[in-house]
Every structure is written in structure tokens, then in C-alpha cells.
């Protein structure tokens, strides 16, 4: 169980500031969705949490450890990252792709134990029949599940997901999201997910972080963040928000003026 503390982080490319003094505490074993318009800094925030990018200032704490003082391999043992897609130059099998998740825990070669962990996860997720398939020849939904499987064998307390449902049909969206939700409950993993689908964020998240221009506009439970006012302010759209079983569902109506 890992609690995350983000304090005053800033990040920018030359003159453009992407993250602007962003601070938030994230509870352990919770599911946080990060929403906001394109360019709000959502993916950048995830990448800063995994040393793919290094913030210009500010600190991120994974549990008691300051990310700046951790080695890359140590970060990978604590924090797994599921990219939006994973294009490769040379073909790899599903088994080899998932086995990559064991890299932070192994020496120069994988052990039988590492392979057994891969089989366990593939069997748990019901995708062991794909083990010898070429990753690139699978559908978007299957690829996404395999990348989630890779994060699972990485055996970390934190999983970062970057738009895991963006290319998927509704059935596969729910399939991937149910797998992720089970993770939080069964394995007590802290999940941070960048997502554009506001209804997916509302349905599955314990908390939602709404960003605009690198700053936090709202943070809290879905019902308090997903309001028509916040959506108008952040996305520049008029919407209706319906409540069903205390979960807000959003129906977008029209644009309000120019794009934010």
C-alpha cells in the first residue's frame, strides 16, 4: 500500500509551462482519475511520477521515499506505467511482452519464478491462450489487457494508466476498467488513470482530479467534481449531469464559445 504526495511540482518545455505548482495527496489503495482538456498536463503528470520526465521543481513522494532520490530501477519496483499504446520495431510475443514487467525484479536473466508469475497473471486474466501470439497482431483491447498484465507482473504498489480506453469499443472499455477496478480491491494497488471519457472516470474512480493549463481546478469525489459548472469552466461545454446510484453521468449538449 503506497500513499503518494505531490508537492508544488512544475514542469515545462522551454517557454511553455505544462504543470504549474501542482500539489495533491493520493490515498493508498485508491483509484484516482485525472481529467482535463488536451494539453492540460495530465500525461505529463503521470510521466513525472515515473521518472520518464523530471519535474523542474517540487517533490513527489512514493510512501516515505522522495522520487528524486530514487534510482530508476527502484522507481520501477514501486510504480508501473501502462502507456496508451506500445508500438514496436521488431515483433514480440505476448509472453515476452508481459515478462518485461519482471525486469525491475530480476538479474540479467529471468528465473523460473519470474516465468511462473507471468503464467499466473495470464491465467488470472484469461489471456494465457494468447501467450505465443505476436503482440502487434492483436486487437487494441487485447493489447491494452496485455499491457495491464505487464504492469501486474511488475508487482508494484502504484499503477499509472495513460488513456487505457481511448481506442477501445464499449465492451473492451468496460472489460479493461473492471480488470483495473479489481486490482484496487484485490491487490490494494493505488491507481492513477488519465482518461478523456468522463463517464468512465465517474463510474470507476474513488476520486477525480480535474486539470486545466497545468493547475488543479477541482479534486474530490466524482459527484463533487463532475458538475456542469466545472465542465463549462474546464472544457467550455454545456452539459447535463445526471445522478444514478450516486454516480454522476454526463451528457454533453453543446460548445460554449471558442475551444479552451
Partner 1 sequence: MPNYFKKKKDDKEMTAIEIQGNSQSSYRADYQSYIGRKMFFIFVMIVLIVLLVAFIVTIGPLNISVLDVYRIILSRLFPGYFAVEGLPVQVVWNIRIPRIVAGIMAGSGMGICGCVMQAVLKNPLASPFTLGISAGAGFGVAVAAVLGIGVIGGPYLLVGNAFLFAMLCSFIIIALASFKGATSETMILAGIAINYLFGSLSDLFRYFATDQQLRVMVDWGMGDLSAFSWQNFLLLLVLFAICVPLLYLKANDLNIMAVGDENAKSLGIDTNRVRMYSMLVASLLIATIVCFTGTIAFIGLVAPHMARMMIGSDHKYLFPASGLLGAITLMSADAVGMNLLESVMIPTGIMTSMLGVPFFLYLILKRKRREFW
Instruction: Report the C-alpha gap between 91 and 5 in whole angstroms.
Output: 38
Nearest CB to partner 1, comparing residues 160 and 177: 160
Taking the complex as a whole, the smallest distance from the CB of residue 65 to partner 1 amounts, in Å, to 15
Q: From the CB of 48, what's the least distance to partner 1, in Å? A: 12
Complex with partner 1: residue 36 or 104, whichever CB lies closer? 104
Q: How far is the CB of 114 from partner 1 (least distance, A)?
A: 10
C-alpha closest to that of 163 among 194, 202, 121: 194
To partner 1, the closest distance from the beta carbon of 260 in angstroms equals 27
Measured distance CA(250)–CA(165) in Å, rounded: 17
The Cα–Cα gap between 173 and 208 comes to 18
Cβ at position 116, least distance to partner 1 in Å: 10
- The whole-angstrom separation of Cα 207 and Cα 253 is 24
Nearer to partner 1, 93 or 223 (CB): 93
Of the pair 13, 108, the CB lying nearest partner 1 is at 108
13 or 90: whose CB is closer to partner 1? 90
Nearer to partner 1, 97 or 239 (CB): 97
Residues in touch with partner 1 (CB under 8 A): 47, 50-52, 72-77, 80-81, 83, 86-93, 95-97, 100-101, 103-104, 106, 108-110, 119, 123, 128-129, 131-132, 134, 137, 154
> How would you write 117-177 as a 3-class SS string?
HHHHHHHHCCCHHHCCCEHHHCCHHHHHHHHHHHHHHCCCCEEEEECCCCCCCHHHHHHHH
CA–CA gap between residue 223 and residue 218 (Å, rounded): 11
Least distance in angstroms from the C-beta of 136 to partner 1: 10
Q: Are 32 and 205 in contact (CB under 8 A)?
A: yes
DSSP 90: S
Amino acid at each position: 500500500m503506497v500513499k503518494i504526495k505531490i508537492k508544488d511540482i512544475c514542469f515545462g518545455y522551454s517557454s511553455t509551462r505544462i504543470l504549474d505548482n501542482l500539489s495533491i495527496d493520493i490515498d493508498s489503495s485508491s483509484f484516482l482519475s485525472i481529467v482535463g482538456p488536451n494539453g492540460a498536463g495530465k500525461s505529463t503528470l503521470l510521466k513525472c511520477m515515473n521518472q520518464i520526465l523530471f519535474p523542474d521543481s517540487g517533490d513527489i513522494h512514493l510512501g516515505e521515499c522522495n522520487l528524486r532520490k530514487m534510482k530508476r530501477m527502484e522507481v520501477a519496483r514501486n510504480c508501473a506505467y501502462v502507456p496508451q499504446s506500445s508500438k514496436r520495431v521488431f515483433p514480440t510475443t505476448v509472453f515476452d511482452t508481459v515478462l518485461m514487467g519482471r525486469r525491475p525484479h530480476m538479474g540479467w536473466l529471468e528465473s523460473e519464478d519470474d516465468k511462473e508469475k507471468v503464467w499466473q497473471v495470464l491465467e488470472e486474466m484469461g489471456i494465457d491462450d494468447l501467450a505465443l501470439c505476436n503482440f502487434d497482431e492483436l486487437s487494441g483491447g487485447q493489447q491494452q489487457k496485455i499491457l495491464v498484465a505487464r504492469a501486474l507482473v511488475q508487482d508494484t504498489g502504484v499503477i499509472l494508466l495513460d488513456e487505457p480506453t481511448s481506442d477501445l469499443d464499449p465492451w473492451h472499455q468496460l472489460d479493461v476498467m473492471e480488470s483495473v477496478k479489481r486490482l484496487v480491491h484485490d491487490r490494494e494497488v493505488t491507481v492513477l488513470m488519465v482518461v478523456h471519457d468522463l463517464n468512465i472516470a465517474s463510474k470507476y474512480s474513488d476520486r477525480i482530479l480535474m486539470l486545466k493549463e497545468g493547475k488543479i481546478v477541482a479534486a474530490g469525489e466524482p459527484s463533487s467534481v463532475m458538475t456542469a459548472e466545472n465542465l463549462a469552466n474546464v472544457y467550455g461545454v454545456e452539459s447535463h449531469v445526471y445522478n444514478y446510484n450516486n454516480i454522476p453521468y454526463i451528457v454533453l449538449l453543446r460548445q460554449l464559445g471558442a475551444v479552451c
